[in-house]
Amino acid sequence: MHTLIFGAGPLGSLFAARLAQAGQRVTLLARGQRLADLQEHGIVLEQSLSGEREVVRVDTTAQLAPDDHYDLIIVVMRKNQVLEILPTLAANHASPNILFMMNSATGAAEVAAALGRERVMLGFPLPGGERDGHVIRIVPNRPKHPWVLPIGEVDGAESERLKQVAALLGSMAGYAVEMRSDMEAWLTSHVAIVGPALSAVIYASGIDPQRMAHTPDALILAVRGLKEAIRALPMAGISPTPGIIWLIPFIPEPILVQILRSVLSRPELEASLRGHPAAARDEMQFLANEFLTLVKGAGAATPLLDQLYPYFDPRTPPLPEGSSQIAMDWRGLWGLGAGAVVALGLVGVLLCSHRRGYV
User: How many other β-carbons are positioned within 10 Å of the β-carbon of residue 195?
Assistant: 27
User: How many other β-carbons are positioned within 10 Å of the β-carbon of residue 23?
Assistant: 8
Short-list 296, 272, 295, CA closest to 359? 272
| pLDDT for the residue numbered 356 | 42
Report the DSSP beta bridge partners of residue 101. 123
Give all strands of the β-sheet with 98-101 in edge-to-edge order. Answer: 59-61, 25-29, 2-6, 72-75, 98-101, 120-123, 147-153, 175-179
Q: Is residue 184 a contact partner of residue 91, using CB atoms and an 8 Å limit?
A: no
Angle (CA) 90 16 49, round 5°: 130
Helix axes 281-297, 183-193, angle to 10 degrees: 110
Q: Is residue 8 a contact partner of residue 77, using CB atoms and an 8 Å limit?
A: no
| pLDDT for the residue numbered 336 | 54
Q: What is the C-alpha separation between 248 and 252, in angstroms, rounded?
A: 9
Q: What is the C-alpha separation between 26 and 352, in angstroms, rounded?
A: 27
| pLDDT for the residue numbered 67 | 96
pTM of the complete model: 0.89
Q: Is residue 46 a contact partner of residue 138, using CB atoms and an 8 Å limit?
A: yes
Q: Is residue 198 a contact partner of residue 225, using CB atoms and an 8 Å limit?
A: yes
Q: What is the pLDDT along the chain (359 residues), one digit of tens a residue?
A: 999 999 999 999 999 999 999 999 999 999 999 999 999 999 999 988 888 999 999 999 999 999 999 999 999 999 999 999 999 999 999 999 999 999 999 999 999 999 999 999 999 998 878 888 999 988 877 667 899 999 999 999 999 999 999 999 999 999 999 999 999 999 999 999 998 999 999 999 999 999 999 999 999 999 999 999 999 999 999 999 988 888 999 999 999 999 999 988 887 676 667 777 888 899 999 999 999 999 999 999 999 999 999 999 999 999 999 999 999 998 876 555 555 555 555 545 554 444 443 33
| pLDDT for the residue numbered 333 | 64
Give all strands of the β-sheet with 53-56 in edge-to-edge order. Answer: 53-56, 43-47, 135-138, 129-132
- What is the CATH code for 2-181? 3.40.50.720
| pLDDT for the residue numbered 353 | 42
Q: What is the C-alpha separation between 297 and 185, in angstroms, rounded?
A: 17
Q: Where are the domains of the chain?
A: 2-181, 185-351
Strand locations in the chain (E): 2-6, 25-29, 43-47, 53-56, 59-61, 72-75, 98-101, 120-123, 129-132, 135-138, 147-153, 175-179
| pLDDT for the residue numbered 338 | 52
What is the secondary structure of 37-98 as a DSSP string? HHHHH-EEEEETTT--EEEE--EEES---TT---SEEEE-S-HHHHHHHHHHHHH--S---E
Q: Across the chain, how many H-helices and E-strands are there?
A: 16, 12
Within the chain, what is the greatest distance between any pair of CA atoms?
64
